[in-house]
Amino acid sequence: MLIAITRRVSPAINQCELTNLERVPIDLETARRQHRQYESVLASLGVEVRSLPAEADLPDSVFVEDTAVILDECAVLTRSGAGSRRPEVESIASALAPYRKLFFIGAPGTLDGGDVLVVGKNVYVGLSTRSNQPAIEQLQDFLASYGYHVHGVRVTGCLHLKSALTQVAAQTLLVNPAWVGLDHFSGMQFIEVDPSEPYAANALRIGEVVIYQPAYPKTRQRLEQAGIRVVLVDESELGKAEGALTCCSLIFSS
């Protein structure tokens, strides 16, 4: 069974961290309504959704993906490159403790879960403003005994690795090649985003279904032409906080 840990949108969302976007007002009620729909779609796909309460003092805390990397054998709790986000980890660690052995990234390492893409036994980590080489080295130490190989991947022009690419099928990545080099991902096939939709590379794969944003119709057409079943969910309001579909849940097998 798949479990999704989510968190309600903080009333302080308008004080979120921003790196690559200009600040514009976020409508709290719209963000909450869209996020509830996201949770409903997850549930409709057979995922057990466990929604944590909002954190009034942690503006970015709805983006739970950044707090942990969950594998079949263990979970690694992160240490964000944004200092304001580090307190988000405590409650997520408590939520994950019944399911996984826990490891913790320590200083000087910094890591956001949005920078981590796991494909089989390969763990790709974006070297970004939020994640660094010491964290990659710690992650390799934690995971080596389980047979994982950790690879650092330079990211430019966007916040996280998963802003630049995500997995949409067993051997297929959806990618914006302007933000990440494809030579790191040998053996994979690629669907490139339409050049007019640079933020279109983030998709959330649940089994044989991909949850996707309606804001990117040209790239959606490319996915469907590749035989990928797409379910649309609008999380555009949280996009103003540099959030995306993968950011809003931690999904793992129980």
Quick one: pLDDT at residue 5? 98
pLDDT band (50, 70, 90) for residue 244: very high
pLDDT band (50, 70, 90) for residue 208: very high
Quick one: pLDDT at residue 28? 98
Identify whether the C-beta of residue 135 lies closer than 8 Å to the C-beta of residue 216: no
Quick one: pLDDT at residue 209? 98
- Candidates 15, 36, 41, 22; CA nearest to 210 is 41
Report the b/e string of 165-195 with b at 16+ CB within 10 A.
Answer: bbbbbeebbbbbeebbeeeebeebeebbbee
Q: What percent of the chain has pLDDT over 70?
A: 100
- Segment 92-115 mean pLDDT: 98
Quick one: pLDDT at residue 11? 98
Bridge partner list, 97 = none
Quick one: pLDDT at residue 114? 98
Q: How do 101-104 and 74-77 pair as beta strands?
A: parallel
Quick one: pLDDT at residue 48? 98
Identify whether the C-beta of residue 103 lies closer than 8 Å to the C-beta of residue 74: yes
Quick one: pLDDT at residue 44? 98
Quick one: pLDDT at residue 178? 97
From the list 16, 74, 158, 247, the catalytic residue is 247
What are the tens digits of pLDDT across the range 131-167?
999 999 999 999 999 999 999 999 999 999 999 999 9
Check which CATH number belongs to the domain holding 162 and give it: 3.75.10.10
Helices (H), ranges, 122-231:
133-143, 161-164, 217-225
Mean pLDDT of the chain: 97
pLDDT band (50, 70, 90) for residue 6: very high
Is residue 160 flagged as an active site residue?
Answer: yes
From the list 16, 160, 184, 248, the catalytic residue is 160
- Candidates 92, 141, 97; CA nearest to 112 is 92
Q: Which domain holds residue 69?
A: 2-253
What angle (nearest 5°) sits at the alpha carbon of residue 84, between those of residues 125 and 246? 40
Tally of domains within the chain: 1
What are the tens digits of pLDDT across the range 107-138?
999 999 999 999 999 999 999 999 999 999 99
pLDDT band (50, 70, 90) for residue 75: very high
Is residue 35 flagged as an active site residue?
Answer: no
pTM: 0.97
pLDDT band (50, 70, 90) for residue 4: very high
Quick one: pLDDT at residue 131? 98
Quick one: pLDDT at residue 54? 98
